[in-house]
Chains A and B, each alone.
Chain A
Amino acid sequence: MKKAWISALLAGAALSCGGGDFDPQNVVSGVRVLSSRADRPYAKPGDTVQVDLLVADGRADKRVPLQVAWIPFVCTNPEADLYYACFAQLLSGGSTGGAGAGGFDLSKVPFGIDISKQLPQGTSYSVTIPKDIVKARPGQPDPYGLVMLFNIACAGKIVLAEPDPSAGAAAVPIQCVDDAGKQVPPSDYVFGYTRVYAYNERTNANPILDGLTFDGKPVDFTAGITVDRCTAIKPEDCPSHKLGVTVPASSQEVNAGQVDEYGNTLNEIVWTALYADAGRFDEDVRLLYDARAGKAPNSDATYRPGARSGSIWVVVKDNRGGSTWKQVPVTVR
């Protein structure tokens, strides 16, 4: 009887949390951009900030090379901080900037023409934060500015997309197409955006990933992890291993200017996101530090190996744009 009610409640929970027997987010089986990292997560006006991307290529067929390109367009302070509010600026030849932009104006590019060679390539990109970007906003304790950067990881050609009325304001302006001009499947491209916030006073450092443990033993990032091959049809039938992520308490900074409903100062939330192209994790995300309660009592993740060797990626993030990561090779016996 109890189980029935439990099922009912979990069914209710599933309505909001999703469900279905799908591969979890941590399984990398195509082109993925797993994270971005700014060397100054909270920049100051006038700073030059370098942004790096963590890109994983989990495609089974990699005959078409993967290119990572940046849209040479710096969107500043979009309405309500919404990414799609930048698209109108982008297509109307709004502000451009950043290293390697070269004054490339998308508003003058015809639809469907390969623009890959005109775009800055690579997983790193630098941008200079405008000096007048910081603005006061209702409901915000401190004024701030926002720069949004757009990029695309594409196993194909990059073209300017024709407007898609069905997508409304959020229509993707850039497409990744094959030689025939047809859009490649979602597994072959990622259109992404990264936010860089600027404050006059506030600062933030990227969290530090001290190390990993695998079944309680320290992991050598170069040698990686060796596990037994598992060929079970159901991933949950494979043996489980505990992966520990060591982040020092100093990485949880005070979230300056932010207080809870009782006036107590809040700290950052720090979590780890886990990915694998060999095997899978039971959890996509594990909480490391809570804003109120501090260090989480048990933050180990559960890893289950698969049939082939590959990599796992461990990304540590805070909720103020801070990020760091490690890629660890996985070898199956």
Chain B
Amino acid sequence: MKRTPLGRFLLRAAPFLAAAAPLVAPASAYAQAPAAAAKPTLVPPKVKSDPGAVYPKQAITDKVATEVAVILVVEIDATGAVTKATVAEPQGHGFDEAAVEASKSLVFEPATRDGQPIPARIKHRYSFPVPKSIIRGKVANQSSDRGLAAEVSVVGADGIGLPATVAADGTFTAEVATPGHYSVRVHVEGFTDPAPTELDLAAAEVVELTIRVARKEAPPEPKKPDAKEPDVEEVQVRGKKPPREVTKRTLEQRELSRIPGTNGDALRALQNLPGVARPPGLAGLLIVRGSAPNDTNIFIDGTLVPIVYHFGGLSSVVPTEALEKIDFYPGNFSAQYGRVMGGIVDVGLRDPKKDKLHGFAQVDLIDARALAEGPLGKGWSFLVAGRRSYVDTWLGPVLTAAGSSVSTAPVYYDYQAILQKDIDKNKSFRLAFMGSDDRLALIVQSGSGSDPTLGGNISLGTAYYRLQARYRQKISDKTEWKTTAAVGKDSIQFNLGENYFKLTSHPITLRSEISHKLGSGVTMNVGMDWLYTPYEIAIRLPPIPQPGQPDPGPFGSRPPLTVKETDSIYRPAIYDELEIVPWKGGRVVTGVRIDYAKDTKSWDVSPRFVFRQDVVAGAGKRTTLKGGLGVFRQPPQPQETNKAFGQIGLTSNRAIHYTLGAERELGKNVEVSMEGFYKDFDNLVVANRLNSGLGQAYGIETLVRYKPDSRFFGFLAYTLSRSTRRSSASEAERLFTFDQTHILTAVGSYRLGRGWEIGSRFRLTSGSLTTPQRYGFVDENSGSPVPLNAATNSERLPMYRQLDIRVDKSWQFKTWKLGAYLDVLNVYNAGNSEGVSYNYDSTLRTYSGSLPIIPSLGLRGEL
């Protein structure tokens, strides 16, 4: 925080006061004295009190590196009070708001005409020099921790040293005026010089260090205890609070928007992380650590949403530009999350910008999107965004040419609106409205000979919206409260000839948590997670075949089951967690979650425990061991408890997660992590056999990541895993449908300069599993062959490999920015297999192809 001194203001304001002379001349609205023939004596207003402006946080976030001045036009009444202040030349980054806010505290001696106070209007300038960063710390003996008189120097990237104040006890302080890269070097007589401590300082950042040094050589007799201790340097840099989970993977904005093969879609970038399997074909699925896609829940700011990807995974339902962060927990997640036994994705929408109006528009071959945001005054700000696909403009004609009558061409859109009020620095309120809609309808006249009823009127539609209110308050230094409530509507509908599935629900969710610091190193989080969903469902479908069952014959060969009912899902939960820092570098989080499910009338108690321990501290070489153990319960799916399609008497599925791993920093930008996981499933729902199912998933994930710097970012992720299921304890184990043994992803992106950036992604994964089939029967009512199936998932398709390349180019103009990108999927057109195609009676087979080479070109304009 930096305040402008009054004296400096007067000095700098002098030219403006002079320039403002015509302005100071009272306008008619302000001049109360009548015009006189004699030249009046005018005295401009003088500043009596100016507490100064607060340096805006946004400017720190935006890393503004130069001094900024904001000129206000200030209207002053005859008492000297400021009645209005407007910005003459907006500077952005929060400076304008800070200046206007500061002007409310200005007090003037009023302007006078012939000695009489009069209203006046003047220019007033606020300067915002870049706030200094502070490096402070202590040089200590490695063994005794006693402070040592040392020489400390702070050297910038330009090689110029900065003065540092060093006390006899080894404490030191250095002020840094310009953000950037600095080295802290230490020398103590008789001790080995440690390696320089490298720092990247942002504006107004305070960094605290403890630099420990060891003696240069063994001292003469008597031998001191620390004689043979190695050189050790420990650096503690103020950073983010460690996660409550064993593993929390967060991609930075540049990584999210630049990973090739994702079209810049952040949520599609998730599919590249360790533990996430490649989804088959164009399916928009998240397959996490050997769990089914519906074992992973997606939240937007803590509110559950039903889908994350539009049709075929082409893009996600929230545009990257509206995101602040994506937190991905592949397992052993906090007790604040429940009702699933796979993973959690929590997407955070960002706060609207508050300095001025911003916006962008983007078009590519799939969709067009736009976003606008800015301040509304009085602490309010807004963000609106929308996207619409135009696949319909070309896919509709293609489907028609293929013999279908298209009544609704495939189209999707999504929208987001945010209204935010920063009440004060401790309280904020946000209202968000978001949703998406996908739909397609056509009449297929040439159906499949093997399933003739799979034709006729076919339509598909998914839609949801949420109205979400979020309130956050820092009640005290020790207590924080956050609450998110949402109401909305989910709609899933498809028709297949005379069959249909139509589900309309109105979920109401409330999530509230109080975090209280009980004492040094102990924080308690208590919360509730409440879900109430009234729904209407209408289904007319043949019985759904289950995995492992023989082919039941053509889809329409059995009389359809019909269900039409109105009911509700009620699933309240409470949880309690203790975050404990028992000793230096250690962290333990233990919690319990209690869930109730009305549909199964069952209570689930899920205890959880995770730990992290820094075994080596210090920037650039931090090494952390981590692990976790927890119980995760997932209630049955609604169709599983339905009296026509499911079973009565089910309880929740269960998984016990075990995780053990390590993280290691290798220098400033590189970090390596490796962890093993084991998931023990039981109580799994099996058709007609209640909760008899069992299973397991285990593997090792490794990640080598180069965090984004000014030029490069990249990572190499590899997962080795296996996932199996059994219908009951007495039955043989089979590979789970989404099992993938090897998942290797390599991503790199490099800024070439002059607005050019080039990146590449390579994926090599085990092939998907398939169930071989052979010649069997003929269903004579339909004339369709019915194959005989071999053991479920007993064949694996060949390895899948794909190389994607992305090239970005941006042009910066005076007031706006233009960007263009070319994202090419499957650059060398690798002939991958996504399945096996059989002839009509399953006597011949061939692999069915995957994506060909697909270039996608996009343009983007940004204000």
Residues of A at under 8 Å CB distance from B? 1-2, 4-12, 14-15, 17-26, 32-36, 53, 80-84, 138-141, 144, 151, 166-172, 186-187, 190-195, 197, 255, 258, 260-261, 266, 269, 271, 273, 283-287, 290-293, 296-299, 315, 317, 319, 321, 323
Contacts and interface: CB of A to CB of B under 8 A. Distances in A.
Contacts of A32: 778
A305 to B, nearest CB: 20
B448 A285 contact: yes
B445 A9 contact: no
Given A5-B854, A138-B644, A290-B443, A11 B849 contact: yes
B443 A9 contact: no
Contacts of B163: none
B365 A293 contact: no
A5 B364 CA distance: 12
Contact of A20 (B405, B538, B540, B844): B844
A192 B540 CA distance: 27
Contact of B365 (A2, A26, A258): A2
Contacts of B841: 25, 186
A319 B553 contact: no
Given A15-B834, A192-B777, A319-B453, A285 B849 contact: no
Contact of B781 (A19, A194, A269): A194
B282 A170 contact: no
A252 to B, nearest CB: 12
Contacts of A255: 498
Interface in B279-308: 280-282
A171 B550 CA distance: 9
Contacts, number: 242
A53 B498 contact: no
Contacts of A80: 543, 552, 558
B455 A285 contact: yes
Contacts of A197: 559
Given A12-B312, A192-B778, A18 B837 contact: yes
Given A9-B395, A20-B844, A193 B780 contact: yes
B500 interface: yes
B366 to A, nearest CB: 8
B550 A84 contact: yes
Contact of B538 (A83, A187, A261): A261
Given A1-B855, A269-B453, A287-B455, A190 B778 contact: yes
Contact of A140 (B365, B453, B562, B777): B562
Contacts of B844: 20, 22
Given A170-B789, A285-B455, A24 B498 contact: no
A169 B546 CA distance: 14
B649 interface: no
Given A11-B850, A12-B312, A298-B445, A23 B839 contact: yes
Nearest to B407: A293
B502 interface: yes
Nearest to A151: B780
14 contacts: A8-B851, A11-B851, A15-B280, A18-B848, A20-B838, A20-B845, A20-B848, A25-B449, A33-B780, A83-B786, A187-B843, A193-B779, A317-B782, A317-B783
B640 interface: no
Q: Which of A5, A84, A285 has the most CB of B within 10 A?
A: A285
Contact of A269 (B497, B540, B543, B564): B497
Contacts of B562: 139-141, 258
B790 interface: yes
B572 interface: no
Nearest to A21: B846
A14 B456 contact: no
A23 B780 CA distance: 20
A7 B312 CA distance: 14
Contacts of B457: 290-293
A23 B776 CA distance: 18
B522 to A, nearest CB: 52
A315 B782 CA distance: 10
Contacts of A23: 839-840
A1 B857 contact: yes
Nearest to B779: A193
Interface in B533-563: 538, 540, 543, 549-553, 556-563
Given A24-B840, A172-B788, A287 B780 contact: no
Contact of B500 (A81, A172, A261): A261
Q: Which of B280, B394, B456, B791 has the most CB of A within 10 A?
A: B456
B538 A299 contact: no
B498 A269 contact: yes
A321 B455 contact: no
Given A6-B395, A269-B498, A192 B779 contact: yes
Contacts of B667: none
Contacts of B191: none
B398 interface: yes
Contacts of A323: 781
A218 to B, nearest CB: 22
B724 to A, nearest CB: 18
Contact of B446 (A11, A144, A286): A286
A194 B780 contact: yes
Contacts of B405: 297
Contacts of A190: 778
Nearest to B790: A166
Given A1-B857, A15-B834, A255-B498, A191 B848 contact: no
Contacts of A9: 282, 312, 395, 398
Given A284-B449, A319-B498, 16 more contacts: A4-B853, A6-B395, A8-B282, A22-B846, A33-B778, A170-B550, A258-B560, A261-B538, A261-B564, A269-B455, A273-B783, A283-B403, A285-B447, A287-B444, A293-B443, A321-B781
Interface in B809-863: 834-835, 837-841, 843-846, 848-857
B561 A172 contact: no
Interface string B102-125: 000000000000000000000000
B852 A11 contact: yes
Given A12-B282, A18-B837, A273-B783, A81 B443 contact: no
Nearest to B398: A6
Interface string B191-212: 0000000000000000000000
- Closest A-B pairs by Cβ, 3 of them: A284-B449, A139-B644, A139-B561
Contact of A290 (B497, B564, B854): B497
Nearest to A83: B553
A57 to B, nearest CB: 14
Contacts of B853: 4
Contacts of A35: 780-781, 783
Given A4-B855, A138-B643, A139-B644, A273 B449 contact: yes
Given A193-B779, A193-B780, A260 B500 contact: yes
Q: Which of A53, A139, A260 has the most CB of B within 10 A?
A: A139
B16 interface: no
Contacts of B851: 8, 11
Contact of B788 (A2, A151, A167, A195): A167
A220 to B, nearest CB: 25
A275 to B, nearest CB: 8
A285 B550 contact: no
A298 B446 CA distance: 10
Given A197-B559, A255-B498, A26 B449 contact: yes
Given A1-B857, A287-B447, A293-B457, A258 B498 contact: yes
A282 to B, nearest CB: 8
A20 to B, nearest CB: 4
A191 B777 contact: yes
A231 B599 CA distance: 65
B561 A138 contact: yes
Nearest to B825: A8
Contacts of B564: 261
A23 to B, nearest CB: 7
A1 B823 CA distance: 12
